[in-house]
C-alpha cells in the first residue's frame, strides 16, 4: 500500500486541488476507511468484475495516486493501480515514489506513460533524482515526462538510457545532467528539454530516430543539429548565438529564438530543403548591432515563403521600409500579417531617425504578384502606415483581402477614416475589413 496513504504533504494536497487530474481522487483526511476483517460488509458488485474492467475504471481517474486510494475502500482493488497503462504521479512525496515505481516493476507489460510532477516546494537531491530516473527507465515506458518545479541542489544528475522509450519530456529547474559512457536512445522520436543543462550534442548523437526536438533553454553559443530523420526543431537560446549549423533533409518545421541576440561574428550553415514552416525570432537593437534584421533573415537563404508574419516592436517608428524590404526578398509571399506593439502615443521621430531615412520607399514599385492577403493588427492610421497601405495596394496586383484591426488605444479621426475608406474604394476587387 505504498501509494495508499501519506502520499502528499499539506502543500502537495493544496496543489492537487488545483489539478484537474488529481482533484477527483482526493479523500478526506481520515483513517480506518477499510473495514475490519470481522465487520459485515455490504455486497460489492463492482469489485466482482474482471480485472480488465476494473482497470478501465481506474484509468478514468487519470491519476495513479487516486487509483491507489481505491485500495482503502475495498481489498479487491489493492495493487491494481500498478497495472495501469498510463501512470500519472502528480504532487506526491518524493520519498514514496521510488517504492511506487518498484510496485509497477512487477507488471510484465511496460506502461505507455509515466508522468512525474513534483510541486515547487520540494527540494530534491540529485542522487534521488538519479535513482528515480533509473527506476523509470527500467520500466521502459513508451512516453516519459518528468517535471520538478523547485530548485535542485548542485550536483550531477545521471540520465540513464531509455532503450524502448519513444518520447521524453524533461523539465527540471537547474538540473545538470551527465550521460552514461555508453548506450543511447535508439527508439526515441520526440525529445523536449526545458530548464535542463547537458551536453546536447552528445545527447543528439545517441538519438538516431529523433523526429521532434524541442530545447527551450539552449545554453551553448553553437546550435549544431545534424539528424537525417528530424522533422520538427524548436530552439530557444539563452545565450548569444555565434554559430548555427543545421543539416536536416527531412525538416519541415523550424522555430529559432535567439533570445539574447546573435554574435557579431555569427556564422550560418543551413541545409533543410524541405522546410515548410519557419519562425525566426531575434532580439536586436538597431543602434547597437551592425547587422540588421533583414540581413539576419536573408542569411538563411530561405526565400520561397508563402506566409510572412512579422511581430514588430516599432515603438512609434516608421516600419514601411523593413516590411517592403522583406517582401522584396521573399517575392513568393501570398499572405502578409503584421502585428504591432501597443505603445503609448508619442511625438514623431526626429528628422534624422534611421527608421525613415530612405524616403523613396513610398514611391517604390516591387513585384508582389503572389500576395493575396494583408492583415495589420494594432493599426493606427498614421501617415506612414497609410503610405505603406498605398504601396501594397498598388504593387499587389492579385490582392484579394485587406484586414485592418485598429489599436484599442487609438481611434482614427473622421478625416483619417475617410481617407482610408477612399483609398480602399479605389480597389473594388479587394475585400476590405476594418475593425475598431
Locate 109 and state its grid cell.
507489460
Picking from 179, 169, 176, the residue whose alpha carbon sits closest to that of residue 125 is 176
Tens of pLDDT, residue by residue over 287-332, are 444 455 556 666 665 667 788 888 887 777 788 888 988 888 778 8
DSSP state letter for 234? E
Tell me, what's the pLDDT at 27?
Answer: 47
Q: What's the distance, CA 309 to chain centroid?
A: 18
Q: How far apart are alpha carbons 430 and 232 in whole angstroms?
A: 36
Count the neighbouring beta carbons within 10 Å of the beta carbon of residue 15: 19
Locate 117 and state its grid cell.
510532477
Tell me the CB-side half-sphere exposure of residue 121, using CA atoms within 13 A: 11
pLDDT-flagged residues of the chain (< 70): 1-48, 50-51, 55, 58, 62, 67, 70-74, 283-303, 343-359, 409-415
Tell me, what's the pLDDT at 31?
Answer: 46
Picking from 179, 183, 103, 191, the residue whose alpha carbon sits closest to that of residue 139 is 103
Tell me, what's the pLDDT at 290?
Answer: 43
Count the neighbouring beta carbons within 10 Å of the beta carbon of residue 87: 24
C-alpha to C-alpha distances, 205 to 77, 158, 168, 389, nearest whole angstrom: 44, 17, 16, 49
Locate 25 and state its grid cell.
481522487
Q: How far apart are alpha carbons 163 and 170 in whole angstroms?
A: 16
- Name the one residue in this structure whose C-alpha cell is 479621426: 413
Q: How far apart are alpha carbons 313 and 398 in whole angstroms?
A: 29
Tell me, what's the pLDDT at 2?
Answer: 44
Query: Which pairing describes strands 156-158 and 143-148: parallel, antiparallel, or unpaired?
Result: unpaired
Q: Read out DSSP for 150-173?
A: S---SSEEE----SS-SEEEEEEE
Q: How far apart are alpha carbons 88 and 9 in whole angstroms?
A: 17
Strands (DSSP E) contained in 208-284 are 212-218, 222-226, 232-237, 241-247, 253-258, 262-271, 277-282
Q: Read out DSSP for 299-331?
A: HT-----SEEEEEE--TT---HHHHHHHHHH-T
Picking from 69, 151, 134, 144, the residue whose alpha carbon sits closest to that of residue 113 is 144
Tell me, what's the pLDDT at 156?
Answer: 94
C-alpha to C-alpha distances, 119 to 103, 124, 216, nearest whole angstrom: 22, 10, 21
3 state SS for 57-83: HHHCCCCHHHHHHHHHCCHHHCCHHHH
Amino acid at each position: 500500500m505504498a501509494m495508499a496513504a501519506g502520499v502528499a504533504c499539506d502543500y502537495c494536497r493544496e496543489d492537487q486541488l488545483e489539478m484537474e487530474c488529481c482533484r477527483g481522487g482526493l479523500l478526506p483526511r481520515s483513517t480506518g476507511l477499510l473495514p475490519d476483517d470481522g465487520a459485515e460488509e455490504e455486497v460489492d458488485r463492482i469489485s466482482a468484475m474482471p480485472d480488465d474492467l476494473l482497470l478501465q475504471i481506474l484509468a478514468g481517474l487519470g491519476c495513479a495516486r487516486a487509483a491507489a486510494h481505491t485500495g482503502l475502500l475495498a481489498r479487491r482493488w489493492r495493487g491494481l493501480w500498478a497495472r495501469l497503462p498510463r501512470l500519472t504521479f502528480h504532487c506526491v512525496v518524493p520519498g514514496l515514489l521510488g517504492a511506487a515505481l518498484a510496485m509497477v516493476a512487477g507488471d510484465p507489460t511496460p506502461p505507455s506513460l509515466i508522468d512525474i510532477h513534483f510541486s515547487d516546494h520540494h527540494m530534491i537531491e540529485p542522487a534521488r533524482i538519479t535513482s528515480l530516473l533509473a527506476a523509470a527507465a527500467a520500466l521502459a515506458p513508451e512516453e516519459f515526462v518528468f517535471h520538478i518545479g523547485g530548485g535542485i541542489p548542485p550536483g550531477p544528475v545521471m540520465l540513464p538510457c531509455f532503450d524502448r522509450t519513444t518520447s521524453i519530456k524533461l523539465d527540471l529547474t537547474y538540473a545538470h545532467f551527465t550521460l552514461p559512457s555508453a548506450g543511447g536512445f535508439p527508439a526515441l522520436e520526440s525529445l523536449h528539454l526545458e530548464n535542463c543543462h547537458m551536453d546536447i550534442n552528445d545527447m543528439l548523437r545517441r538519438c538516431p530516430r529523433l523526429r521532434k526536438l524541442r530545447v527551450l533553454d539552449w545554453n551553448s553559443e553553437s546550435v549544431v543539429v545534424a539528424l537525417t530523420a528530424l522533422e520538427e526543431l524548436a530552439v530557444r537560446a539563452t545565450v548569444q548565438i555565434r554559430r548555427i549549423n543545421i543539416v536536416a533533409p527531412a525538416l519541415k518545421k523550424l522555430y529559432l529564438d535567439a533570445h539574447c541576440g546573435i554574435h557579431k561574428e555569427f556564422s550560418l550553415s543551413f541545409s533543410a530543403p524541405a522546410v515548410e514552416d519557419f519562425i525566426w525570432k531575434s532580439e536586436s537593437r538597431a543602434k547597437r548591432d551592425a547587422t540588421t534584421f533583414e540581413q539576419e533573415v536573408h542569411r538563411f537563404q530561405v526565400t520561397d515563403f508563402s506566409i510572412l508574419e512579422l511581430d514588430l516592436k516599432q515603438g512609434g517608428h516608421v516600419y514601411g521600409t523593413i516590411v517592403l524590404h522583406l517582401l522584396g526578398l521573399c517575392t513568393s509571399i501570398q499572405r502578409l500579417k503584421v502585428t504591432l506593439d501597443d505603445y503609448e502615443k508619442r511625438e514623431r521621430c526626429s528628422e534624422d531617425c534611421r527608421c525613415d531615412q530612405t524616403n523613396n520607399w513610398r514611391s517604390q514599385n516591387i513585384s508582389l504578384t503572389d500576395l493575396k492577403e494583408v492583415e495589420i493588427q494594432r493599426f493606427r492610421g498614421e501617415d506612414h502606415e497609410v503610405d505603406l497601405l498605398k504601396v501594397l495596394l498598388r504593387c499587389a496586383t492579385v490582392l484579394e483581402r485587406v484586414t485592418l484591426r485598429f489599436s484599442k488605444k487609438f481611434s482614427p479621426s473622421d478625416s483619417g477614416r475617410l481617407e482610408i475608406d477612399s483609398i480602399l474604394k479605389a480597389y473594388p476587387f479587394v475585400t476590405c475589413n476594418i475593425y475598431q
